[in-house]
């Protein structure tokens, strides 16, 4: 009901303010750290959070509605009480993640890091670049984000293949594979884009074996969740020259710790988990959550309901 208190675990003051502004007239309690959250969890029934403190499942016996602050829910599921439903943010990140993925693809194929380095050194020297038209793009995870990336690839004149659990056809995608056939999807691709969520089924999916199955000289772009790619194996493939380049917007640890081989890996671009960001990102996330609270009040099915078994 609308008079229920909404608890918000949001260390970011700007995000907390946006959520409060999107929920006028509601009783809200904001927790800015995990210690205050643990103290209040036994009373919470409605919760908005990006992650859950350790022990939440045991503490939050009344919790029955949890809304994530983003599309990924791997930081919430392990501590989610059995009786609580979980929603993720939908409809906010798709366009910007597609744009960012293509910025990374084009930066790698047109060798923009080389151009930047030469400009810094005041060097004018031509270097070889790659073309996309007529090449093969593999998208692992043809959901809302992956589908947009695939459509742009088709517009570039690329042959597009990919993986999709449902098997439903997509415009511009010439070849669909089930997740179990990831090897077949990536084997002939010059560019592989990963938009997969982090679940028990996808954690470490692109390990040494599948990375070795990629075409020599291929490029790998990851904009889904960190932990899907074996980063140590990826660095080895880059150092050996087996892969022409890679770009990661997400990593297993964010940021990578000092001394991580990712920092110095050759032909690797790192961006700090910004693929889904836009100037009005916080406001749009808050609007989605407010709409789902309204649906909760009216007894309507929530949008973005997470399937616990699938992990998204």
Report which DSSP code applies to 47: E
Per-residue pLDDT tens digits for 86-144: 999 999 999 999 999 999 999 999 999 999 999 999 999 999 999 999 999 999 999 99
Nearest CA to 21 among 280, 277, 273, 298? 280
- The structure tokens listed for 284 are 């749009």
How far is 242 from 40, CA to CA, in rounded Å?
Answer: 52
The pLDDT profile of the chain, 312 residues, written as one tens digit per residue, is 567 999 999 988 989 999 999 999 899 999 999 999 999 999 999 999 999 999 999 999 999 999 999 999 999 999 999 999 999 999 999 999 999 999 999 999 999 999 999 999 999 999 999 999 999 999 999 999 999 999 999 999 999 999 999 888 898 999 999 999 999 999 999 999 999 999 999 999 999 999 999 999 999 999 999 999 999 999 999 999 999 999 999 999 999 999 999 999 999 999 999 999 999 999 999 999 999 999 999 999 999 999 998 999
283 part of the active site: no
In angstroms, the Cα distances linking 167 to 163, 176, 186, 222 are 8, 7, 17, 22
How crowded is residue 173: how many other Cβ atoms within 10 Å of its Cβ?
21
CA dihedral 142, 145, 146, 148 (to 10 degrees): 110
Catalytic-role residue among 27, 209, 254, 308:
254
On whether the CB atoms of residues 220 and 246 are closer than 8 A, the answer is yes
On whether the CB atoms of residues 195 and 97 are closer than 8 A, the answer is yes
273 part of the active site: yes
SS3 103: helix
- The structure tokens listed for 223 are 């904009």
- E-only strand ranges, the chain: 6-9, 28-31, 46-49, 65-68, 85-87, 136-140, 159-163, 173-177, 191-194, 219-222, 245-248, 268-270
SS3 81: coil
pTM: 0.93
Q: Does an H or E element contain 199, and which?
A: none
254 part of the active site: yes
On whether the CB atoms of residues 229 and 251 are closer than 8 A, the answer is no
Catalytic-role residue among 26, 239, 273, 284:
273
SS3 letters across 220-275:
EEECCCCCCECHHHHHHHHHHCCCCEEEECCCCCCCCCCCCHHHHCCCEEECCCCC
Residue found under tokens 């938009």: 195
Catalytic-role residue among 177, 225, 237, 281:
225
Per-residue pLDDT tens digits for 62-84: 999 999 999 999 999 999 999 99
């Amino acid at each position: 009901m609308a008079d229920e208190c909404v608890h918000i675990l949001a260390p970011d003051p700007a995000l907390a303010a946006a959520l409060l502004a999107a929920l006028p007239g509601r009783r809200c309690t904001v927790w800015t750290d995990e210690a205050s959250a643990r103290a209040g969890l036994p009373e919470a029934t409605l919760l908005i959070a990006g992650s859950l403190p350790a022990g939440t499942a045991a503490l939050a016996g009344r919790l029955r509605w949890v809304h994530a602050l983003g599309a990924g829910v791997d930081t919430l599921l392990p501590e989610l009480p059995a009786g609580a439903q979980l929603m993720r943010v939908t409809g906010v990140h798709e366009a910007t993640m597609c744009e960012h993925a293509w910025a990374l693809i084009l930066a790698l194929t047109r060798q923009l890091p080389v151009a930047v380095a030469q400009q810094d050194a005041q060097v004018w020297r031509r270097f070889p670049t790659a073309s996309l038209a007529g090449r093969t793009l593999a998208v692992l995870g043809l959901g809302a984000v992956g589908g947009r990336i695939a459509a742009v690839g088709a517009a570039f004149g690329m042959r597009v293949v990919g993986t999709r659990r449902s098997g439903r056809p997509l415009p511009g995608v010439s070849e669909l594979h089930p997740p179990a056939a990831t090897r077949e999807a990536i084997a002939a691709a010059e560019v592989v884009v990963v938009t997969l969520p982090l679940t028990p089924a996808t954690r470490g999916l692109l390990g040494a074996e599948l990375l070795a199955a990629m075409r020599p000289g291929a490029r790998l772009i990851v904009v889904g969740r960190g932990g899907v790619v074996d980063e140590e194996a990826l660095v080895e493939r880059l150092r050996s020259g087996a892969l022409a380049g890679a770009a990661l917007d997400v990593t297993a640890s964010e940021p990578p710790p000092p001394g991580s081989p990712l920092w110095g890996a050759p032909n690797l671009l790192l961006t700090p988990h910004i693929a889904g960001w836009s100037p009005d990102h916080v406001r749009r996330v808050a609007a989605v959550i407010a709409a789902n609270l309204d649906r909760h009040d009216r007894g309507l099915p929530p949008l973005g309901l997470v399937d616990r078994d699938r992990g998204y």
